[in-house]
Chain A
Amino acid sequence: MGNDSFDSEAGSLGVSPDEVQFRFRDDEVADHGTVTVDACCDQTNATAVRIEPGDDARALLPFLDRLALVEVNFPTFGDGRGYSAARILREAGYTGELRAVGDVLIDQLSHMRRCGFDAFAPDKRLDEEDAVKAFATWDNVYQSAADGRKTIQELRHE
């Protein structure tokens, strides 16, 4: 995406328990710890929440206005439920930070970005150069997703 501001100071931004290595936002990093989805639904003032793979992202929809940070946890990179969670939140209009945490690896970055993640806090720091390349894997895309990019099919019929 042309207007991505890829934070070059990457690596020193982590303030929550997860260290954010890549962030595509200009606003202040939310500096409060996250609560579980259940707690978020019970507690009226939580502004940061963490989604585990088995959680229903739609349970958060009534509270999107007050949320500034949603972390989606990937305990193992092969569990792809978090991709759906991310898109569901973006489709519902969530504009706050959407952070992928956990077993986040180079080769998942481009798809995660497409699903609406705009911050990445991998368990293990990733090679910067490989990551920059990975974010730029696709010059064009076949599907419409949460990143608002025009699809190849749309470009063909402009």
Chain B
Amino acid sequence: MYKYDNYDQQMVDARVEEFRGQAKRRLEGKLTEDQFKPLRLMNGLYLQLHAYMLRVAIPYGTLNSAQMSALGDIADKYDRGYGHFTTRQNIQYNWIKLEDAADILADLSKVEMHAIQTSGNCIRNISSDHFAGATHDELVDPRPYAELLRQWSSFHPEFTYLPRKFKIAVIAAEKDRAAMRLHDIGIQIVKNDAGEIGARFFVGGGMGRTPMIAPMIRDFVPLDQLVTYAEGCLRVYNRYGRRDNKYKARIKILVHELGAEEYTRQVEEEFAHLLDQGVEPPRPELERLKPFFADPPFEDGPKTVDRSDPDFALWVDRNTHRHKHDSYVSAVISLKPVGGIPGDATGEQIRTMARLAKQYSFDELRVMHTQNIVLPHVKIADLHALWTELDAAELGAPNLDTIEDIIACPGLDYCALANARSIPLAQRISERFDKSGKTAELGELKLKISGCINACGHHHAGHIGILGVDKKGKENYQLSLGGSEAEDVSLAKITGPGFDEDGVIEAVETVTDVYIAQREDGERFLDTYRRIGMSPFKEALYGK
């Protein structure tokens, strides 16, 4: 994985010092809270319901065991003993004291980490495929490109006060595991007919209150123009994105209002101009980055496991992903124990995962946007030993991509913007389906819960989505069906009137029953929904 050189380290250290100065000036009264707010936000510090929340960047979700271990230590030292992995492939701490913030940032910088641009109206941490560099089905490893863009987007002088936050995802497989088309910019690394590698640009996707799927605006940008093209996309947005209404300020609204064609025309014009400005990093830089992501020294070994222990066999079936080397797999550590808080891990668990990564996965881990952790390169021969240790640490839940693998935002338990709680709902649903044993029967089923319209829980992209709303001062939940964030991307549709907490749990059960009754061979919930449409589900939920 990428290692900082002196320049990178200097940049982060400069930012830590800058933030110390800013915090000091705030305390001295030289900065008003209004002036300080965007500065602390740009350093990942939010004010939540009960305390400050600090969000730490994990570029493209990749980290090593020393970094993971440091995250565990921070949970113990500065938080209440746990951290929360987010849908942005980041980690956040919910119980931080303002006076500790600069020290935490200094601790992070010792392991080449930071909280830079994890919030604020700037280009946020870049996300990617959590199986990058390991999976059997990718064209190339997308991370060198993501790293190139990370450097470009860090402290960008022109794009630090954008109309709104800006999220970029980079993938390099046909399978989309990063919700790429639901980003402000989604980049897919592709090969053209001439056999050259380049970048396909999708711009203007997003969730939030107006979900949109990003249209493709360029099918091939040569690699030595990648940064320049991104700069063109951003400049048009910075100049013309709406600033009169923060709910209409994301780039998706600009692309939608102008039309994809007109937006593209403007970008192409800006791009043509920028090509003469020399904004592209020198080409050797990309070549410098690639070896950081080179394959570790894989060895041949057994290609199958002993399935005599059914619990282990189930975990292998559910929680491993095919690797590009046939003696390895990528193993997913579920942070969704039945009845647990999705994405939470204790300091101890975080350190355990770090240790296991060192022992079994060439020192590497990934954070998934589904709030789980990946050990990307595990020898098939080591799987049983790994699973035994995970199980002992209560990290062995065999439920990847099942109805128990719920994405839930922090909701009303933490978030100042929430209308309703999401965590207890996730806990109750996973308990219920675990108890009834229906989880296995339902197969792949993506359930996503957001506590308000901001959609941090990606409910628009859930096969089943739940949105918390406020109905005359009471928590109420809207159910939606048919969303997907994958390569078959689609937005979920609302079933009808909302439910109270018990009601929505019943409703989830009801729609899964419709699926079981109606499904044809090999169909997932999503496939059945797409085939039969909304009405059978509506009928079951609300009667005729």
Residues of B within 8 A of A138 (CB): 11, 14, 155
Residues from 419 to 437 in B contacting A, C-beta threshold 8 Å = none
Residues of A within 8 A of B162 (CB): 80
Q: Is A133 an interface residue (CB 8 A)?
A: yes
Task: Identify A143's interface contact among B18, B38, B157, B273, CB under 8 A.
Answer: B157
Q: Is A6 an interface residue (CB 8 A)?
A: no
Q: Is A7 an interface residue (CB 8 A)?
A: no
B280 to A, closest residue via Cβ:
A144
Q: Is A10 an interface residue (CB 8 A)?
A: no
B156–A143 touching, CB < 8 Å: yes
Residues of B within 8 A of A152 (CB): 7-8, 11, 151
In angstroms, Cα B162 to Cα A72, docked, is 17
The answer to whether A133 and B285 touch (CB under 8 A), given A80-B159, A143-B279, A145-B157, is: no
Q: Is B497 an interface residue (CB 8 A)?
A: no
B288–A130 touching, CB < 8 Å: no
B30–A156 touching, CB < 8 Å: no
Q: Is A65 an interface residue (CB 8 A)?
A: no
A77–B235 touching, CB < 8 Å: no
Residues of A within 8 A of B8 (CB): 152
In angstroms, Cα B238 to Cα A157, docked, is 31
Residues of A within 8 A of B11 (CB): 138, 140, 142, 152
A154–B282 touching, CB < 8 Å: yes
Residues of A within 8 A of B121 (CB): 78, 80
Residues from 127 to 163 in B contacting A, C-beta threshold 8 Å = 151-152, 154-163
Residues from 20 to 62 in A contacting B, C-beta threshold 8 Å = 53
Q: Is A87 an interface residue (CB 8 A)?
A: yes
In the complex, per-residue mask of A102-123: 1 if CB is within 8 Å of any chain B CB, else 0: 0001111011101100000000
Residues of A within 8 A of B277 (CB): 91, 144
Residues from 120 to 151 in A contacting B, C-beta threshold 8 Å = 127, 130, 133, 137-145, 151
Q: How large is the interface on B (under 10, 10 to 19, 20 to 34, 35 or more residues)?
A: 35 or more
A126 CB → nearest B CB, Å: 9
In angstroms, Cα B155 to Cα A105, docked, is 17
Residues of A within 8 A of B454 (CB): none
B235 to A, closest residue via Cβ:
A84
A30 CB → nearest B CB, Å: 25
A75 CB → nearest B CB, Å: 11
A77–B158 touching, CB < 8 Å: no
The answer to whether A115 and B157 touch (CB under 8 A), given A157-B282, A157-B285, is: yes
Residues of B within 8 A of A141 (CB): 155, 157
Residues of A within 8 A of B243 (CB): 53, 79, 81
The answer to whether A143 and B152 touch (CB under 8 A), given A81-B238, A106-B25, is: yes
Q: Is B208 an interface residue (CB 8 A)?
A: no
Residues of A within 8 A of B441 (CB): none
> B interface vs A, CB < 8 Å?
5, 7-8, 10-11, 14, 18, 21-22, 25, 30, 35, 38-39, 121, 151-152, 154-163, 235, 238-239, 243, 273, 277-279, 281-282, 284-285, 288
Besides A79-B161, A110-B157, A143-B152, 9 new A-B residue pairs in contact (Cβ under 8 A), listed by A number? A80-B162, A81-B243, A105-B35, A111-B155, A111-B160, A114-B157, A130-B21, A138-B155, A141-B157
Closest 5 CB pairs of A and B: A80-B161, A114-B157, A153-B281, A111-B157, A153-B285
A–B pairs, 19, beta carbons within 8 Å: A77-B161, A78-B121, A83-B158, A107-B35, A111-B155, A111-B160, A112-B157, A115-B158, A130-B30, A133-B21, A137-B18, A138-B14, A138-B155, A143-B156, A144-B279, A151-B281, A154-B282, A155-B7, A156-B7
